[in-house]
Structure formats: structure tokens, C-alpha cells
Amino acid sequence: MCNINLRAMLVKTFSAAVFGIEAVPVTIEVEVTRGVRYMLVGLPDAAVKESQQRIESAFRAVGLHWPGRQVIINMAPADIRKEGSSYDLPLAVGILAAAETVNGNRLDGLLLTGELSLDGAVKPVRGVLPMALQARASGFRGIMVPAENAQEAAVVEGLDVFGVTSLGEVLDYLRGEKQLTPLTVDLHTLFSREGNIYDIDFADVRGQETVKRALEVAVAGSHNAIMVGPPGSGKTMLARRLPGILPPMTLEEALETTRIHSVAGKTDSHLALMTRRPFRSPHHTSSDIAMVGGGSVPQPGEISLANNGVLFLDELPEFRRSVLEVLRQPLEDRIITIARARLSCDFPASFMLIASMNPCPCGFHNHPEKECTCAPGMVQRYLSRISGPLLDRIDIHIEVVPVNYANLAATTPAESSSEVRERVVRAREIQTVRFAGIDGIHCNAQMTSAMIRRHCHLDETGGRLLRAAMEMRGLSGRAYDRILKVSRTIADLDESETICPDHISEAINYRSLDREGWAG
């Protein structure tokens, strides 16, 4: 789509601007006329304006010179901000074609992106996957990208992807001295080879069978969970193994996850697609913006980087209150909207929240062997750092106790992640059938109150058991719906159409923090 006949000395090349996880086509119009000025218009930011120095040096590196005439460049549409260094390559090629140094006809139908270094090398940029998707949607036949981004772009079917390493290589292609071979990726082979490979396994965890079962239930219904236990009891070790028991990602989930990480510049150049579910564990000193995303041009935060995976918040009460409160809306809507004066971006935020905490400041409240040294009331104050509305969105509360020597020294093989995953996948398939045709509802944790009444019927025995538990153990009213949701998931794991008293009993035991007197 390079048109040198549109007007004398006027050339158009094409690139793309990324907003959120979407890309917008950008037309770069270059005119070389009589004069000596250089003008770049169309709302470029400082990084785009600085491209002149990088391009001029790259020209010298390949034995060319900056045109000794007036260069006027317009980046259209002119009402959206152009940011970053990804426009270097299309700007450079446009200038050379407008100056008639090279013939731009071979760029017909190509979208270009890439940063130029001073020696003419083409360096990787962010957001290549959204650009490739937009190129296909806009009817381009191909996209020319830095070689390190080529694997990422090649997952888009129906689009020729050319990876280049230097401006000299691009010039050889334009002069007809070199042919570029499109890169292809076999997605089916990639999924089957790497989709379910994780470096860590549930079999590494000794003991903690009760906690493992609770986490299996949490994953089967996509329930948020919090683990409460003393230091060294294995909370973090267990949480890090959760992605291995989640169902394998679908192609749509993998593309969405890769797009988010591409925009954030966190993709692996050696992998075409993220086939493993993400696990994000931000430090408790993280800011609000680091958690939800933001910036003058919004970038994804931790909750979006954890999309389709796990967000693990270790030592939950140590996070600032404001950071925890921003999680409330994404936990419900599974999307985060970042609004700025010029634009508004939506980022997906469908994640499982897994949190851990000590039971008190010293860490030994309710410990079977060690005595808690906290003063009266400190345990309750420590727990109150987590607001009721946030705790209300956590379905499962698990007490984690230290593992004794007999379990640590046991040589009996523990159950592997793959065995647990098989049960989880079967439970998720039941839920997929149950919620077929309902937008935004895919698992039990997402059920509304009306759906709970429809799908969580209790027999007389189960109803009496739940009433007795709420009265005798002092369970809060908000625990009622949570218990029904979790019991529905437990029944799905047992492949039972009805919720039995055993399922209700197990779900009740997963509401530790709702018990009266738990915090002293």
C-alpha cells in the first residue's frame, strides 16, 4: 500500500497505534519538497519526535544520507496521540521512498513497525500482536516487524509476517536484492507441546491434604480463596502450583492473554503464544496504579496481567487499604476501565484471587504448639485491615496448619497436578453445559442470586444442616450464598446432580473467618 504516484514526491506507509489491547491503523504521509526544514505533525510525542536522530544515524550506518531537502511528515489520524519508538521503521522507509532513494512498490499491502538503533538494527517493540490482528482486520496482506517480535505476530493466521533484523535488510528487500520468507507457526503443535507443561507440581507438597482439597474445589469453580496460617506452613508453595491444576487455556484465552502481555512488553521473544496460565504475585508495597493499570496512555496492571490465571496476594493485610479496595469492582465485573481525559481503555481482568495471611501479627494465633504473643484485640485489628466488602468476595477460607515430621519424611508419592487437573476439567465441563448461552457466566463462582436459587437446591437434611451451622457457628448472612456456590462445585467434582449433606458440610468448613470467636 505504498503509493508514490499519488502526488510527486509523496509517499504513504502504514503502521499502527496501540490503545489498551486494541490497535488503530496509522497512515504516515511523507512529502519531500524543495527547502531545508523537517516537520513532523499528527500529535507525535517526544519519543516519536526524537526518531529523526535515530533515523539519520541509521541511514549513515547503511551508507545513505538524510535527504538534503524539506521533509514534511503527517501521521494520520491526526487527532490521536502517537507514542513510542515503534514508528521509526515506517518513517525511515517513507522518507527513503519519498526521496526516490528506493522504490516503495514492494511495500504494497504491508504494515510496518519497529524501533531503529543508531547502527541500523531493528529493535523489538511492544504491542505487536494487537498490530498484527489489526493489520489482518484492515485488509493488509502482511506485516513487517522486528525479528524478535516475529513469533508473536505469526500466530495471526491469514497474514504474512516478515521478521527483519536491520534497516539494511529492509533496503535489500525494497531493491529486489533479497527475498523475505513469511514466518509460520503451527498453533496446534504448539498447544499440544507446551500447553500443560509446568515446572512445579502438586506432588512436591507433602501433607496438607485438606488444603489441597480446598484449592481443588476453588479451582474447579473459579472461587476466590484465602489461606490463613503461620509462617512456613506452605501457603506460598501451594499457591504457586495452582496454574498447573487449572484447565488448559483455549486458543481464545491464549490470544487474549498474549495480547495483554504484548502491550505490557512482557512476552517471551522465543514463544509465539502464551500457552500457560499466568501467575502474578505483586509485592505488598505495590501501588494502586501498579495493581489496576494506568499512565498517561493506560498500560495493563497486575490484575490484567493475571487475566485467565491466578493473582496471588501474599500477606494480604500488609497491602495498603486503597490497593485492596480497587480490587472490588474487577472481582465482580472481570474487566477494568482506565479513563483518561483523551481516551478510555478497557482491560480484561478475569482472574482467580488467591490470598494468604498470617492469623495475627506474630503469626501463631491458633497454632497447635506455639503460643501467640499478641496483646488482646490485636488479632481482630489485624484481620480488620481487610474490609468486609473485599472479604465478601472471597468464597473459600482455609486454615493452614504446619506439616508434622511424619508427613515431611513420608516417601509415599503424593497426587500429581495432572491427576487433580483431570477432575477439575470434568467439573468445568459440567458448568460449561449448565451455563451454556448465558453471557459472562462460565463457572459456579459467577452465579447470580437467581442462578443460585435455580441450581443449588437443598434437600431437607441439607437445609437443616446449613441452618444449624449458621446458628451454632455464628456464620454471617453473607456466607449463605458462598456456601451454596461452593457446595455446588463440590457436587460437580463428585459428578452429582444434587447437592448432598456431605457437600454442604464440606462447604461450611471453608468459611473459617466467618466463625464467631475465630479472632479471639
| pLDDT score for 24 | 94
CB 122 within 8 A of CB 114: yes
How far apart CA 296 and CA 355 sit, in angstroms, is 30
| pLDDT score for 195 | 62
Does pLDDT of 7 surpass 90? no
Does pLDDT of 10 surpass 90? no
How far apart CA 302 and CA 471 sit, in angstroms, is 39
End-to-end CA distance of the chain: 72
| pLDDT score for 4 | 39
193: pLDDT confidence band, cut at 50, 70 and 90? low
CB 26 within 8 A of CB 75: yes
Half-sphere exposure of 166 (CA within 13 A, CB side): 14
| pLDDT score for 419 | 92
CB 324 within 8 A of CB 316: yes
Q: Which has more confidence, 270 or 437?
A: 437
As a whole number, mean pLDDT of residues 73-98 equals 94
How far apart CA 100 and CA 95 sit, in angstroms, is 9
| pLDDT score for 396 | 94
Q: Count of H helices and E strands in the chain?
A: 22, 18
Helix/strand/coil for 13 = strand
Q: How many residues does the chain have?
A: 520
Residues 6 or more apart in contact with residue 54 via CB below 8 angstroms: 85, 88, 115, 116, 117, 118
pTM score over 0.85: yes
| pLDDT score for 516 | 53
- What torsion do the CA atoms of 394, 396, 402, 407 make, to the nearest 10 degrees? -140
Q: For cell 501467640, name the residue.
A: 372
Does pLDDT of 203 surpass 80? yes
- Which residues are registered as beta bridge partners of 335? 348
How far apart CA 220 and CA 443 sit, in angstroms, is 8
Of 47, 8, 46, 48, nearest in space to 28 by CA = 48
512: pLDDT confidence band, cut at 50, 70 and 90? confident
437: pLDDT confidence band, cut at 50, 70 and 90? confident
Q: Which has more confidence, 231 or 189?
A: 231
Question: What percent of the chain has a predicted confidence (pLDDT) above 90?
Answer: 56
Task: Give me the DSSP letters along 18-59.
Answer: EETTEEEEEEEEEEEESSS-EEEESSB-HHHHTHHHHHHHHH
Q: Which has more confidence, 474 or 56?
A: 56
